[in-house]
Amino acid sequence: MYPSEKVLEIKHPVIARDLTILRDKNTSTAVFRLALGRISTILAYNALKNIPLRDFIVETPIKNTTGYEIDAEIVVIPILRAGLGLVDAITTFIPDARVGHLGMYRDEVTKKPVDYYVNIPNGIENALVLVVDPMLATGGSACDAISFLKSKGAKNIRFICLISAPEGIDKVLNDHPDVSIITASVDECLNENKYIVPGLGDAGDRIYGTT
Ligand code: PRP
Ligand code: URA
């Protein structure tokens, strides 16, 4: 068990049902995307739980009362390509969130992340930066992404993923103890090919139908 302020594993019947859809190798791309969208929305909602609010007076048709607006700059950073599948979940709640992109793939032999594209918005120093990727396996991609964003000045980072392996969680907590993880499942382990067990297979291939 991890401390919940470090690793928030969201338990919910809808998540249990949708994770099953995602894990099922016979699920079609269309149905996979719908389940991914639902789970991502629940994760995003929870990842935004304690963001700061600013109060102001709002005039209802009846009287003035206290209203609230979000008092935080939110930047979303999907790790391409699979991370793109989680962006809409954040912008559902924060329509003006800015979106940066980090292109990274795991080399099939070394299993180490390889960078191929970077486009990060200005101003991440003062933003809540939500790094999104469906899978946290060895933690190599997540840790490289987080280190890179810190080198660009990011100070407040949360990592959102659908499925995580203990190995990846341990690496993120060890390398970046200031970063919290929001996940729908902490799975059992990694296999000999560094895939998450039981996992869902290759997230990018399943989202984009590229098997
Ligand atoms: C997957 C996944 C993560 C990474 C996780 O991406 O989306 O980015 O692997 O593995 P790690 O924790 O061991 O680094 P992949 O390399 O398959 O690229 P893709 O998104 O382009 O399919
Ligand atoms: N990347 C994936 O897409 N799935 C895994 O299980 C591990 C890394």
* Whether the Cβ atoms of residue 101 and residue 80 lie closer than 8 Å to each other: yes
pLDDT at 1: 84
* Whether the Cβ atoms of residue 183 and residue 163 lie closer than 8 Å to each other: yes
pLDDT at 211: 76
pTM for the full predicted model: 0.96
Is the four-CA dihedral 165, 22, 81, 182 of positive or negative sign? Answer: negative
Ligand 1: which residues within 6 Å by Cβ? Answer: 79-82, 104-106, 111, 113, 133-142, 168, 194, 202-204
How far is the CA of 121 from the CAs of 149, 155, 180, in angstroms? Answer: 11, 14, 22
Catalytic residue ranges: 106, 110, 202, 205
Is the CB of 196 inside a 6 Å radius of any atom of ligand 2? yes
Query: Cβ neighbours of residue 113 under 8 Å, at least 6 residues apart?
Result: 104, 105, 106, 107, 140, 141, 144, 145
Question: Counting atoms of ligand 1 from 1, which one is nearest the CA of 168?
Answer: 12
- pLDDT tens-digit map of 11-28: 999 999 999 999 999 999
* Whether the Cβ atoms of residue 153 and residue 147 lie closer than 8 Å to each other: no
Is the CB of 199 inside a 6 Å radius of any atom of ligand 2? yes
pLDDT at 185: 98
- pLDDT tens-digit map of 162-177: 999 999 999 999 999 9
pLDDT at 143: 97
- pLDDT tens-digit map of 72-88: 999 999 999 999 999 99
Amino acid at 136: L
Question: What stretches in the chain show pLDDT beneath 50?
Answer: none
Q: Longest Cα pair distance anywhere in the chain, in angstroms?
A: 66
Tell how far the Cα of 199 is from the centroid of ligand 2, in angstroms: 8
Query: Cβ neighbours of residue 181 under 8 Å, at least 6 residues apart?
Result: 6, 7, 8, 136, 158, 159, 160, 161, 164, 169, 172, 173
Nearest-10 crossing angle of helices 166-175, 140-151: 20
